[in-house]
Amino acid sequence: MPPVDPNADLLPHEIAGPVWYLPYPLPVMIAAALVLLLLVAAAVWALVRWRQRKARRILTAREKALAALAMAQARAAEAAPYEFSIEVCDVLRAYLGSEHHLPATTQTSYEFLKTARSSAVFSAERLAGLARFLDKADAIKFARAEASGADNAELAGLAGDLVKEEVPHAVAA
């Protein structure tokens, strides 16, 4: 029996060079991975934004007015009465205009009270509160009546009461 050569299975004609085991060149695969990563990041960002937007509830006119009046009430003691009365009056008139479709922002106090009396939105008690609010606000705004922080707080309280008071659905219709 002839001697067995231990290197017989490694003959030079059988040795092959390195085999490329990746389907595409390495720079192409890196670029594709980066594009895929950017797409995943954009999808996650869009999903988070969509959920945040969906979770954010749109405030009603009443909630907006109450928030604005609460902020005004917090600084009623140190606010200048003239500017404060304008701000509170604007909040109340904007609320009444948007919530009850009344021309509160385009009419004088006298004209608005006349409109409010003919409207089914106001009960007698609520109408008296509106008249008191408008008289006090007009006295501060136009007659430059002396006012203090307590007057500011009272004005904001009157406006808050008018916004908080529920209108019966049968009356509003």
* pLDDT tens sequence across 31-59: 999 999 999 999 999 999 988 887 777 88
Instruction: Decide: 159 and 69 in contact? Cβ < 8 Å.
Output: yes
**Sign of dihedral through CA atoms 90, 159, 141, 102?**
positive
Over the stretch 97-119, which tens digit does the pLDDT of each residue have? Answer: 988 888 988 889 899 889 988 88
Cα–Cα distance measured from residue 35 to residue 40, given in angstroms and rounded to the nearest whole number: 9
Measured CA to CA, the distance from residue 66 to residue 91 in angstroms comes to 9
Element (H, E) at 114: helix 109-118
For the chain, give the mean pLDDT. 85
Neighbour-count burial of 149, counting CB atoms closer than 10 A to its CB (0-12 exposed, 13-18 middle, 19+ buried): middle
**Structure confidence by residue, pLDDT tens digits, 119-150:** 888 888 888 999 999 999 999 888 888 888 88
Q: Which amino acid, residue 121?
A: V
CA distance 103 to 110: 12
Q: Which residues of 68-100 are buried (b: 16+ CB within 10 A; e: fewer)?
A: bbeebbeebeebebeebbebbbebbbbbbbbbb
Separation between Cα atoms, residue 113 and residue 128, nearest integer Å: 10
Asked whether 140 and 153 are in contact (CB, 8 A), the reply is: no
Residues 6+ apart with CB under 8 A from 10: none
- Model confidence over 61-91: pLDDT tens digits? 899 999 999 999 998 888 888 999 999 999 9
| pTM as predicted | 0.64
